[in-house]
Amino acid sequence: MDLRIFTEPQQGATYDTLLTVAKDAYIHSQENRRHVGHYEDVGLSGYDPNIYRPDFERMLEDARQ
């Protein structure tokens, strides 16, 4: 199984920090899981439905495959 993580830095947290937390909390605790991609739309709001977020769309497309 592939696990895809989409993050938006919260309160100054970097992607690397968020990824480390995610890996420690979940990925490393499960068998047959691996990090397969990095998806990041810096400065684009996830709350605005009118914003196109290319990495989010790429993540969804990758997940459909």
Three-state DSSP at 39 gives strand
In the predicted model, is pLDDT for residue 6 greater than 80?
A: no
Q: Quickly state the pLDDT bin for 60 (edges 50, 70, 90).
A: very high
Rg value, the chain, Cα: 13
In the predicted model, is pLDDT for residue 64 greater than 80?
A: yes
Q: Tell me what pLDDT residue 1 has.
A: 54
Q: Quickly state the pLDDT bin for 39 (edges 50, 70, 90).
A: confident
User: Which amino acid, one-letter code, is at 39?
Assistant: Y
Q: Quickly state the pLDDT bin for 16 (edges 50, 70, 90).
A: confident
